Structure 1
């Protein structure tokens, strides 16, 4: 039975070659991708991520993904318009962290919920920083430094 099957398949291939169905295929004349490279067991995962343009951090276990999100919190909240939006973002992240802490899986990694007040404080500091640096007067940035020096000198002089 297998001989008959092989013969039928070979006959179809020969017929397709004679009709020219294998001429001008995509990739003709190009080297085979990955040829000469050592074998990689996860080649199909890497090719899937590359083909679908997915970030590779999706392959990380849950605690490492959460740690990565915690590290990226300042960058992600920077463009949020209100303090409520920042607190909502942190609350959503903390909910995911608490859910993982209740039922941990994957490697044991120390993860704590994010302090919303600290994130809001940093967010406010970053929001006020650009306003202070975009002054139009050339001497405006120097004046606070002079005041700080002068107040230090006055305090030092009073202690003597």
Structure 2
């Protein structure tokens, strides 16, 4: 029985016009077959020696596999492990931005700024829905600007009330250096 790699090399050689009677396989293909055979032999020798025994994670399931099939799992994992920002399909970027949008809005001090940020976010959601480049579907919904401004205002007033309740009244000031003569 012949080795499948050798058969594949002979087939490629015939496709490239090299005849076995004229001198064998072309040098590039022969080198690739030799390299593949060397690597496979080295792996088999390492397995017999036990170099792959007791590796960390042996016999354990792969971490990060969910219960549902996600074709973009590798993109999401790469973005998370590398802490990359601004990279990836618009659908994934909008999902992650949607999660942290309330915290970003809470940092703003004016209602006009909140409205501007929300209008920009909604514009990008609509653009991502209209794109024809493929990628994961856009499931992020646009935000209702008036409702979000009302929620921002309520969170802001609650923070101000909590901050004023925590701060004790300043002590009465005594003026030094001024003497009264009665």
| TM-score after normalising by structure 1 | 0.47
Structure of higher RCO (CA pairs closer than 8 Å, 6+ residues apart):
1
Bigger Rg, structure 1 or 2 = 2
| TM-score after normalising by structure 2 | 0.42
